[in-house]
Structure 1
Amino acid sequence: MRGRPAFAPALLVAMLAAGTTWAALLAWRGFLVDSFSYLAPLAVTAVMIGAAGAVLRWLGSPAVLTLSVQLLVATAMVSSELGGSPIPLGPAAREIGRSIDQAMHSASTYAAPIASDVPSVSPLLFLGGVVFVVIVDFLACTLHRVPVAGLALLAIYSVPAGLVKTGPSWVAFLLAAIGFLALLHLDSRDHLLKWGRPLGPESNSPWAEGNPVSDAIRVGAGRIGAVATACALVIPPFIPVLDINLLAIGPGNGDDNIQIRNPRTDLRRDLEQSEEVTLVRFHTNDPHPGYLRIAALNRFTGDEWSTGDRGVADEDTATGALPDPPGVDLDVPRSSYSYTFEATHAFDSTWLPTPFPASSVDADGDWRYDPDTFDFLAVPDDLTTEDLDWDATGLDLDFGTDGRFFKDAGLDEVADEFLEVPGGLPAIVRSQAVAVTTGASDDYEAALLLQDWFRERGGFKYSLKKAPDGIGGNAFEAFLNADAPGGRVGYCEQFASAMAVMARMVGIPARVAIGFLAPDDLGNGDFEYTSDDLHAWPELYFHGTGWVGFEPTPARISGTPPDYTSVPVDIDNPTEPTSDPTSSGPSRTLSEQPTATVTTTLPDEQVADESSSGADSGIDWVGIVVRVGIGLLVLAIAALALFWPRVARGRARGRRLSGSPEDIWDELRASALDLALPWPAGRSPQQIGMTLVSHLGDRSDDDRPERPRTGPDADPEATMALERIISALELARYARPGSSVPPPGLADDALTCIASLEAGVTPSVATRARWLPRSVWQRPVRAVASDDDLVDA
């Protein structure tokens, strides 16, 4: 048994489906650093789609119409989010296409998680999430196929498996599983209640102990759903032959080669935070400890530096001695210093900070190092530096200040990746690189000239607030061009990136290092690094020294650079680089002009995502308000279209009920048409009345069954009211003109008959008749009295 459909339960189920889908989509957070960029608008869109579906289903609309309106709402929200207009036409359509193209390029170029200063993949995640919201709502709420909707939820959760190192979030799975079980429970209860009134103790409560409905729901939804969820978690690890892992739980594909996350710290955000946080403490016998490296970034895509793809072997562990650093001449004087590190609870990193170069590292857990970079990374997903202790022995290499160890790298001495420069960079980058290094006799002098230009001769200034956004693309032009507004102003990450790229352009292998600059001295050999010490610097490769760090960031921030980088360079005709990006500048005076390898070509108009990171980012309340407003406008238009038939029907009913018996008879005919009840054509009122009385239902039954009992005995009062209406109609039609007077209370009798007819149909038909009345579009035609009518009278 069930009563008239109420809007609250319909809305509850719709919001539960939307919330469950949104919770499952939390599993996609590992694809990008700023997950709020797709989760926030997706939450608003899910609510709008779910609310629209709830209203339509409550009104009894067909499934096709419900899905169509939801797709319309989804299209308007997507167009508003990606194109700036709810109508995806003209400029909005072009902007949507551009956003998706950039997102697809980033998805195919960068490793997850993708940083916020490159074209974001959030448009793809948002669009995919909207599709899943519509699918789950349609399956679970409109078609009442909750188990099938569970497959869609599982598909959402399985997407990050194998693509993100950490895999999908277990929190997302837990929340989605709870929501799915709740949907399954409500759906089972709804299906069981259609069979009729429950029997047994406390029959009015389907939740009572011992009630058949309660027992069936507990067995059908609770136990089956719980067992299915448990199987989804337990079975995959024991089926390795299938080579699938939908829930990212199981043995995986081994750990000889692993996909790693981009460790590039958002330095701008961390440096601008108001509170300084201690991250690493250590004790050492080194009297002047300096740089502590977290990771080296080898790959530059034009918009972002990343670690690229790394391979680590089982034997390359943080359990003691390390090989000698590659490329270092055996004659280089060296000293060893011991370090005992302790990370605080605030420092949660899957990369282990170590001195570079180091001769040994010993840390608890499965930490592996890359022999090309000597970066240490965690192999298990749950291993981090949080509250970790580790020991290391660092090497202090004395290269002197005469440059005798700095030789140009051989042709195949390093991987080609360290010389690759993507296409599409502004012309000013190459022209400045060549102009700055003009007159250098070798790579070492070219590197010294580059560092000196950034620190002294170039007129660069350090500023977090005035620095342009990003580290590549058009940000290069804004950073390097002295004539541009705010030109030659940046922070350490931009200085390091610019020098590394320009070094590659003149043939010097280069990469960017991320770590800590200089610790605070606590006394007695104790030091600490804080969030203010986070830093980026370039590392360049030379035969005889291997990878060595340079310091292009101005002295006000970085202090004194390494001794081997402070050597003056004597050149005959020093040339100040031109600010004209179209000028190629003079050629570098070297025996052989190096050529950078171009591996990735980007369109010239491809620019970095303009959304700023760190302190410049935040909750876009204006954007959220606009999106909510657009969604409400769409819903208001849909509601207006939906409410108009009911309003028009109510006005027509009021007009007829205040009229003559013929008008009241027309209202009964219109009500029968709305309720899809038969109305015999060409029949007398008595014959039509005999048809209608068989469809009268019991108005007093609050818990109306799916198939109500009908007939004259179901509602005797309505049967008598119908007889009075027919008698008044016959008098009006066949009595002598002017002799018949409509009896009082005829309108009330009509309302009684209409209510009884509604009680005799299913709840869904009655709801559809109220909200989508056929008589609004198909008006009943008033019949003309015939000879049969006279005979019956």
Structure 2
Amino acid sequence: MNAPRNPSSLPSTLLLGTVALLTTWVALTAWQGFVTEPGSYLGRVAAAGAVVVLLGAVLRWRAAPRLVTIGVQVLAAALVVAWQITGSPVPSGGTLAEVGNALSTAVDSARTYSAPISPRVPPLWPLLLVCGVAFVVIVDAVACTLRRVPGAGLALLAIYSVPSGLLDQGPGWGSFVLAATGFLLLLHLDARESLQRWGRSLGPDDASPWGHGNPVREAARAGAGRIGVTATVLALVIPAFVPVLGTDFFDLGGGDGSGDIRIRKPIADMRRDLERGEDVPMVQVRTDDPDPSYLRISVLNRFTGVEWSSGDRDVAQENTASGALPEPAGLAASVPRTQYDYRVQINDHLDSTWLPTQFPAAAVQAEGDWRFDPTTMDFLAADDDLDTRGMDYTMTALEPDYGTDGRYFRDPAGGSVPDELLELPSGVPALVRDLARSVTAPATNDYERAVILQRFFRETGGFTYDLRAAPNGTGNGTLEDFLAPSGRVGYCEQFASAMAVMARILGIPARVAVGFLEPDPIGDGVFEYSSHDLHAWPELYFAGAGWVRFEPTPSGRVESVPDYSDVSAPGSGPENTDAATSRSASSGGTATVAPNTAASKPTEAPDATADDSAGGASHTGRNLAVGGGLLVLVLLVTGLVLGPRSVRKTARRSRLGGGPDELWAELRATSLDLDLPWPDGRSPREIGTVLVDHLADPDAEPLERPRTGPDVAPQAADALERLVDAVERTRYARPGSPAAVAVAERSATEADAALVVASLTAGVTPRARRRAQWLPRSVWRPLRVSLRTRR
């Protein structure tokens, strides 16, 4: 981008930047619900923002190129933030590593602790600081450097979307009103300055741009009022129509800091509540089932490489918790089954938008708009105000008897489950893929592979259950650390995730379930689930058996496994030591040894060497994730920049190779791209009389204001006349007549159309040509027409 032609005065540009900073800072106060001490990030954001604004104002005043201005601001903001986090003003590799560690720790705190987060735990403010300063730079660049103040409103709206989706109370009204006022002031200042560039206003009050009746004041006020009020109204109205499901990818706390348990994002919430240490009773069941267990809350279908989430759900209006349920998917009618009745009472400690149920179940009867997904048979709250606190409902559970001979566990046919339940991201480490295949190599079918995988985690793989020493998360990097011979310490989250991923690698449909493990008996036929019973496990699909539970978590947490999986199977098979050795060497570890075939050891802390190795691998995984994210961002930006141009060139080439109607359509698209008049609804000859005045010499040097008209480009005018004649003959001549045949046989029409297109392009300013080339309106116009039609 070039420098602005009419740079503003230093006081003017400094005023605009200061208002932008104050507006953004006030908007960022909406995040104070995440921490108990908001000053920990707000003061630091203000200091870094002052540096950004001052530098931007000076550079704009000196008419520096816009890209240079934004680049200097980004660099200065990064240096100030790094200094605030590390205490060192000198950038270095160690400084960057320290910043990365601080952000990683902040993310872990966000996933582990409830909002508001206390300063007594690993701090969250570095993450809020980085995000806040990024918004300051974005708003200043868009509103002050690029002079697109309405676009800055989108960034301000994004600030409010974070607490709106993650905090119970959402952002406060006070900060919204003040930020909206600042945004309107930004619009007013920008509109006033833009209009004043046209010259000095006339009239008795022309000495003051704020005087009554002044055209600058009136135009600025009108522009700011229309745009600002519309944007503010949309900011208030649109969120009410945005659907929200519990598939968050970034969890900033979940409870109120008390003993209550909130479940919105099951995996993260489960670990947070287990780490509290306090055992809180939550669910009481009265049942004729002599041995109840595994009360399921939610099913997670989608693995993104970062985490498991519930994915897309089909919760139709008729799929309610109002009685009998469909037959379990894939469960053969020949499988013996027993029914048990349950009455479930949930106290106020469990606040969940997922309804705990047995799986499989024959019926569920619950008040409220609870709807089930037929592919998972878990229940979601369809009403935003609906949760499980204080609920009392009934259900009928099914307990299939699969036996121990595997007769009902047949390999599923292709297409028997949605593709999502077999999908894996491309970044699954090679160690995980090789380990899945090598461990199950002796198996001859999917049932044997599943049994061997379960035994590998519980017995032969040398794994240990330890909640405190377990790594955070279920992403690819964590998965690799967990499965490496130097790791193999985790809790149910890692065991369930690892087995589900390895099952998908082997072609077995798999998903992760979250719920309660086993209740305590408190009376005759009465049992109670508490927060310490929270658990995760994998479910695998087989033809004849349907979705069945496996238990990879070792006996340090779960004493027994389902009878159908506690059977003899071929040996576990050797690990792929080549892949594991390669990884161990690259991370500075020792050579790989064969897996420990002894039973799982009692809980013990891993040694320092293992910690260092896991930490190095974790950093490697994080770097790969960041690099992959940047690559995706670059590809996305490249697609947005080059995509419309490529689509337009392809469409032009196709039309220029067609008949008269296609050539005429290309002329219309060219006129639309160049912003030339095209009177729709008129005849081709009437349109031609309009276009002929916009023809220019295609061989002339590009000018800011090129001369146009039939006398300037007589050859193009003749070509346009011939093209109009060809279109008229095509549309109005009788089929098979000599005129129509003559049109069909003409080969020069394509050359005429190309000449007219080149002449129309030469008749506009260079700026209009560039806009037509990179932002062709004809690419988007059909979409807008389609949307209007659907409305």
With the length of structure 1 as denominator, give the TM-score of the two structures: 0.53
2:289 corresponding residue in structure 1: 286
Residue 520 (structure 2) pairs with residue 520 (structure 1): yes
Distance 1:424 1:58, change over 3 A: closer
Distance 2:335 2:248 in 1: 35
Tell me the residue number matched to 1:532.
Answer: 532
Judged with a 3 Å threshold, the aligned counterparts in structure 2 of structure 1 residues 536 and 250 are, in CA distance, closer, same or farther, namely closer
Task: Kindly indicate whether the alpha-carbon contact (under 8 Å) linking 1:408 and 1:443 is maintained by their aligned counterparts in 2.
Answer: yes
Matched with 1:478 is: 481
Measured in 1, the distance between the counterparts of 2:52 and 2:421 equals: 54
Q: 1:397 to 1:74 in 2, by over 3 A?
A: same
Relative to structure 2, which stretch is displaced further, 382-391 or 452-461? 382-391
Residue in 2 aligned with 1:727? none
What RMSD over aligned residues (CA atoms) do the two structures have, in Å?
5.4
- In the alignment, the residues of structure 2 paired with residue 70 and residue 439 of structure 1 have an alpha-carbon distance, to the nearest angstrom, of 60
Cα distance change on mapping 1:76 and 1:333 into 2, 3 Å = same
Which of 130, 135, 149 in structure 2 is aligned with 1:129? Answer: 135
CA distance in 2 between partners of 1:134 and 1:227 (Å): 22
1:624-773 map, 5 Å:
none
Letter of the structure 2 residue corresponding to residue 445 of structure 1 = E
1:47 aligns with 46
> In percent, how many aligned pairs have the same letter?
40
SS, match of residue 425 in structure 1: coil
Summarize the alignment of residues 79-90 of structure 1 with structure 2, pairs less than 5 Å apart: 79=79, 81=81
Q: What is residue 301 of structure 2 aligned with on the other side?
A: 298
The equivalent of 1:313 in structure 2 is 316
Contact 2:422–2:504, Cα closer than 8 Å, also in 1 = yes
Give the partner amino acid of 1:23: T
In 2: Cα distance, 1:396 partner to 1:318 partner: 20
Residue 272 of structure 1 is matched in structure 2 by 275
Q: What residue in structure 2 maps to residue 174 of structure 1?
A: 173
In structure 2, stretches of 5+ residues that fail to align are 1-10, 105-114, 116-121, 190-223, 250-264, 583-591, 593-616, 624-791
Evaluate the alpha carbon distance shift between residue 395 and residue 123 of structure 1 in structure 2; reply closer, same or farther with a 3 A threshold: farther
Question: CA, structure 1 residues 357+184, in 2 after alignment: closer, same or farther (shift >3 Å)?
Answer: closer
Deviations 1:332-385 (A, max 9, x none): 121222222233333222222211111122223222211111121122333222
Aligned with 1:131: secondary structure?
helix
Q: How big is the shift at 1:423?
A: 2.7
Per-residue deviation, 1:545? 0.8
8 Å CA contact 1:366–1:380 kept in 2: the answer is yes
Q: Which of 571, 576, 579 lines up with 2:574 in the alignment?
A: 576
Give 1:528 shift.
2.2
Aligned counterparts of 1:453 and 1:58: Cα–Cα separation in 2: 63
SS in 2 for 1:22: helix
Report the alpha carbon displacement of residue 491 of structure 1 after superposing the two structures with TM.
0.9
* Number of the residue aligned with 2:238: 248
Q: Is this contact kept in 1: 2:52–2:73, CA < 8 A? A: no
Alpha-carbon distance change, 478 to 19 in structure 1, aligned in 2, over 3 angstroms = closer
The answer to whether the 8 A contact 1:150-1:180 is kept is no
Give the C-alpha shift of residue 233 in structure 1: 7.5
| Other structure's SS at 2:352 match | coil
Paired with 1:124 and 1:50, the residues of 2 have a C-alpha distance of 11
Alignment of 1:179-578 (within 5 A): 179-180=178-179, 247-251=237-241, 260-261=247-248, 263-266=265-268, 267-482=270-485, 484=486, 487-569=487-569, 571=570, 575-578=573-576
The offset of 1:305, in angstroms, is 1.5
1:20 paired with 2:26, answer yes
Is the CA contact 2:466–2:489 (under 8 Å) kept in the aligned structure 1?
Answer: yes
SS of equivalent to 1:556: coil
Deviates more, 1:282-291 or 1:72-81: 72-81
Q: Counterpart of 1:342 in 2: which secondary structure?
A: strand
- Residue identity opposite 1:474 in structure 2: G
Aligned counterparts of 1:382 and 1:458: Cα–Cα separation in 2: 45
Q: 3-state SS of the aligned residue for 2:414?
A: coil
Deviates more, 1:506-515 or 1:548-557: 506-515
Secondary structure at the aligned position of 1:555 is classed as coil
Equivalent pair of 1:369/1:376 in contact (CA under 8 Å): yes
Once the two structures are superposed, residues 650-685 of structure 1 have per-residue CA deviations (whole angstroms, 9 ceiling, x without a partner) of xxxxxxxxxxxxxxxxxxxxxxxxxxxxxxxxxxxx
Describe the SS at the equivalent of 2:171: helix
Query: Do the aligned partners of 2:314 and 2:374 also contact (CA within 8 Å) in 1?
Result: no
Q: Is the 8 A contact 2:48 2:80 kept in 1?
A: no
Contact 2:42/2:129 (<8 A) preserved: no
Q: Give secondary structure in 1 for the equivalent of 2:551.
A: coil
**Alignment-derived partner of residue 212 in structure 1:** none
- In the alignment, the residues of structure 2 paired with residue 185 and residue 430 of structure 1 have an alpha-carbon distance, to the nearest angstrom, of 55
**Secondary structure of the residue that 2:431 maps to in structure 1?**
helix
Offset of 1:292 from its aligned partner?
1.1
Q: Secondary structure at the match of 1:265?
A: helix
CA deviation after TM superposition for structure 1 residue 609, in Å: 4.5
Residues 233/445 of structure 1: CA separation in 2 closer, same or farther (3 Å cut)? same
Asked whether the 8 Å contact 1:281–1:528 carries over to 2, the reply is yes
Q: Distance in 1 between matches of 2:548 and 2:127?
A: 35
Higher share in helix: 2
Distance 2:342 2:183 in 1: 57
Cα drift, residue 541 of structure 1: 0.6
Q: Secondary structure at the match of 2:398?
A: strand
- Distance in structure 2 (CA, Å) of the matches to 1:562 and 1:314: 35
The one-letter amino acid paired with 2:504 is: R
Deviation at 1:471, TM superposition (A): 2.4
Kindly indicate whether structure 1 or structure 2 has the higher relative contact order, using CA contacts under 8 Å at least 6 residues apart. Answer: 1
**How many angstroms does 1:394 deviate by?**
1.4
> Following the alignment from structure 1 to structure 2, what is the Cα–Cα distance between the partners of residues 345 and 232?
40
Name the CA distance, whole Å, in 1 between partners of 2:55 and 2:441. 72
Secondary structure at the counterpart of residue 433 of structure 1: helix
Inter-CA distance 125–313: structure 2 relative to 1 (3 Å threshold): farther
Rate the CA distance shift 1:42–1:401 in 2: closer, same or farther, 3 A: same
Amino acid at match of 2:238: A
Residues 41 and 128 in structure 2, CA contact (< 8 A), matched pair in contact too: no
CA distance in 2, matches of 1:121, 1:354: 37
Taking structure 2 as the reference length, the TM-score comes to 0.53
Report the 3-state secondary structure (helix = DSSP H, G, I; strand = E; otherwise coil) of the residue aligned with 2:579. Answer: coil
- Kept after mapping to 1: 8 A contact 2:435/2:576: yes
What SS is found at the alignment partner of 2:436? helix
For residue 537 of structure 1, report the CA deviation from its aligned partner. 0.6
Give CA deviations for 1:679-710 in whole Å, capped at 9, x if unaligned: xxxxxxxxxxxxxxxxxxxxxxxxxxxxxxxx
- Residue 539 of structure 1: CA displacement? 0.5
Give the C-alpha shift of residue 435 in structure 1.
2.3
C-alpha separation between the residues in 2 aligned to 1:437 and 1:38? 52
d(CA) in 1 for partners of 2:420 and 2:185?
A: 57
Paired position in structure 2 for 1:637: none
C-alpha change, 1:274 and 1:574, in structure 2 (3 Å) is closer
Deviation at residue 326 of structure 1 after TM alignment: 0.7
Q: CA deviation at 1:540?
A: 0.7
- 2:350 alignment partner, SS class: coil
2:557 counterpart SS class: helix
Helix, strand or coil: the match of 1:413? coil
Kept after mapping to 1: 8 A contact 2:138/2:155: no
Distance 1:534 1:576 in 2: 33
**Which residue type is aligned with residue 42 of structure 2?**
A
User: CA 1:318/1:124 → structure 2, altered by over 3 Å: closer, same or farther?
Assistant: farther
